[in-house]
Homo-oligomer: A and B are copies of this chain.
Amino acid sequence: MSTIRKMNKSNSDAPWLALTLDRQLAQPLQAQLCGAIRRLVQEGRLVSGDRLPASRALAAELSISRLTVVTAYDQLVGEGYVIGRRGAGMFVAPDLAGLPRPPARRDGGPPPPTPAPFRPFDTGAADLAGFPHRLWARLLEQAWRDPEPGLLAPPDPLGWSPLRVAIAQHLSDWRGIACAPAQVIVTSGLGESVALVAAALLSPGQSVAVEEPGHGPLRRALAAAGLGVVSQRVDAEGLDPEALGSETRAVVVTPSRHFPLGMTLPLARRLGLLAWAADTGSWVIEDDYDGEYRFRGQPLPAMMSLDEAGRVLYAGSFTKVMFPGLRLGFLVVPPALEASMRQAMQKRGAQAGIVAQPALARFIAEGHFATHLRRMRRLYAGRQRVLLAALAESCAGLLEAEEAPSGMHLVARFAPEFAARMDDVAASGRCVAAGVRARPLSGFFAGEPTAQGLVLGFAGFGEAEIQRAAAAMGAALRA
């Protein structure tokens, strides 16, 4: 690095003293010099009429070739920062007023904050310590060290082919869905899956029914896709197909386990939904939320496995069972839709990046994913038992919770005497103040809430953490 220490014949030496070039930098010296002079002008340290150092003198001071300085000056003339006066040298241009200045550099500011980690009882938290990080890192390294040519080619908009094969096999093993890899589309998650269905199968303004209470981000994704979102109140069994309006062109449903209430849609209603879709030519988007984490019994087969008419699209995600930033999900479409979906993906452009896809493909195909799911299922079943016991001990008379047969959270209802004292928004506020994130059930309603409770995620927290949080919650709610 060379610094100009003194400079003759320039109106002011001070700014040139600060001018530094760095041969270690990637940027060419000429570009560095241009940038440095531009910055001096922009910062007002050089003003209109200031003379620039003679090219020979500046080159000597900076130990660079004179040609580099001349080229940089020419560039600045072209940009309007500098003018040359025959015989007199180069000057900062007189009309700088017309040359806007950039916003002030804010180097001193702190870098953006890192997001907060999960705290009990955040929903959506998985057991991150239990994830085989070293294995995952090794699979990434192996995939990219000497990448298959297909990984570097223009990507298939439907996703990395071996990942689609692995997902199809996984769905057959775990969810009873018999699908070919050609039916599987890799997406960046439920939002893209929904947007894709909207683009390929629905017209702007058409009505899509969603469960009430339900998944807020899903409603927003549908609305963002230009669709009319119709809330459909669920009863104790879930969504009732009889209640669907005649205008509804599609319905998004969580049959394995309603979100957030947790009940399973009975077979009769599943068949009713399928019949409705077949009769009306509508679509059923099966959001198989938490379908893999069943603690007892066997899940009902996925609705898609019962669909003869080709009206069901099955949406899944790896985000909750791996880690939240993964942003890989998938959509399984009936065979008759393969061509139109490919077309829609080509037109829209895929959003899911390729980097994680080959690692995930091997993670699934080599059985690590199944091993992880089985381990987590045992772990989460145990954590739910711990939470139920801790609630019984610390929140007796306040909250009433039943064992959920699956999933990563449960809903604690208010005991009648407590419900008379406080609503769930107030209760949640008290919990948050005590360091416990307990989301109010009413917040999952788009309209007037008809139920109160706290939604407690137990999957991501150790037993002692769960017990401490339950105790803090009980104290906060009693206070």
Spell out A's residues near B (CB within 8 Å).
Answer: 25-27, 30-31, 34-35, 38-39, 71-72, 75, 78-80, 98-107, 109, 111-118, 122, 124, 128, 131, 133-134, 136-138, 140-147, 149-156, 158, 161-162, 164-165, 172-174, 176-182, 188-189, 191-192, 199, 204, 217, 220-221, 224, 226, 267, 271, 274, 297-298, 300-301, 304-310, 323-328, 334-335, 347-356, 359, 367, 370-371, 373-374
A424 to B191 alpha-carbon distance, docked (Å)? 40
Known: A98-B271, A353-B355. 5 other contacts (CB 8 A): A111-B164, A114-B153, A115-B154, A323-B354, A328-B353
Known contacts: A109-B180, A111-B162, A274-B100. The answer to whether A124 contacts B298 by CB under 8 A is no
How far apart are A208's CB and chain B's nearest CB, in angstroms?
17
Cβ of A27 and Cβ of B174 under 8 Å apart? yes
**A361 to nearest B CB, angstroms?**
11
In the bound complex, how far is the Cα of B324 from the Cα of A353, in angstroms? Answer: 9
A182: contacting residue among B100, B109, B165, CB under 8 A: B109
Measured between alpha carbons, how far is A103 from B179 in the docked complex, in Å? 8
Q: Which of B117, B162, B220 contacts A149, CB < 8 Å?
A: B117
- How far does the Cβ of A303 sit from chain B's closest Cβ, in whole Å? 10
Interface pair A370/B27, CB less than 8 Å apart: yes
With the chains together, A221 CA to B195 CA distance in Å? Answer: 13
Contacts of A103 in B (CB 8 A): 178-179, 307-308, 310, 334-335
Contact A267 B35, beta carbon cutoff 8 Å: no
Among A111, A142, A334, max chain B CB count under 10 A is at A111
CB-CB under 8 A from A224, the residues of chain B are 199, 348
CA distance A347 to B111 in the complex (A): 23
CB distance from A279 to the nearest CB of B (A): 13
Q: Considering only CB atoms, which chain B residue lies closest to A336 in the complex? A: B103
With A99-B271, A137-B141, A298-B34 as contacts: A327 and B354 at CB distance below 8 Å? yes
Contact present for B189 and A349 (CB under 8 Å): yes
Known contacts A102-B178, A137-B140, A306-B99, A298 near B114 by CB under 8 Å: no
Instruction: Assess A100 versus B173: contact at CB under 8 Å? Given A153-B114, A326-B355.
Output: no
For residue A105, give the distance in angstroms from its CB to the closest CB of chain B.
4
**Residues of B close to A165: CB separation below 8 A:** 111-112
Q: Which residue of B lies closest to A268 (CB)?
A: B80
Complex contact B177–A102 (CB within 8 A): yes
CA distance A267 to B143 in the complex (A): 45
The reply to whether A350 and B327 form a contact with Cβ atoms under 8 Å apart is yes
Residues of B within 8 A of A161 (CB): 111-114
A134 surroundings in chain B (CB, below 8 A): 145-146
In the docked arrangement, what's the CA distance between A352 and B274, Å? 34
Q: Which of B274, B348, B352 contacts A327 (CB 8 A)?
A: B352
Query: Smallest Cβ distance from A128 to chain B, in angstroms?
Result: 4
Q: How long is the Cα–Cα vector from A324 to B350 in the complex, in angstroms? A: 11
The complex places the Cα of A105 from the Cα of B274 at a distance, in Å, of 19
Q: How far is the CA of A389 from the CA of B305 in the complex (A)?
A: 60
A271 near B100 with CB under 8 A, answer yes
Contact B26 A173 (CB under 8 A): yes
A189 to B349, CA, bound (A): 10
Query: Which of B26, B141, B155, B301 is the one whose CB lies under 8 Å from A140?
Result: B141
Could you give 25 example pairs across A and B, Cβ below 8 Å?
A: A27-B173, A27-B174, A38-B301, A39-B178, A78-B267, A79-B300, A99-B306, A100-B306, A103-B178, A103-B307, A103-B334, A105-B180, A107-B180, A111-B164, A128-B152, A133-B145, A133-B146, A137-B142, A152-B324, A188-B188, A191-B348, A220-B347, A353-B355, A355-B355, A356-B356
Cβ contact within 8 Å between A351 and B188: yes
Asked if residues B356 and A101 are in contact (CB atoms below 8 Å), the reply is no
- A34→B305 CA distance, assembly (Å): 14
7 tightest Cβ-Cβ pairs between the two chains A and B: A26-B370, A325-B354, A105-B178, A327-B353, A141-B141, A137-B144, A106-B180
A220: chain B residues at CB < 8 Å are 347-349
Provided the pairs A38-B176, A188-B188, A370-B25 are in contact, do residues A308 and B80 lie with their beta carbons within 8 angstroms?
no
Pairwise interchain contact A114-B79, C-beta atoms closer than 8 A: no
Give the contacting residue for A144; candidates B140, B309, B324; CB below 8 A. B140
Which residue from chain B places its CB closest to the CB of A300 in the assembled complex? B79
CB–CB B118/A154 < 8 A: yes
Contact B348 A351 (CB under 8 A): no
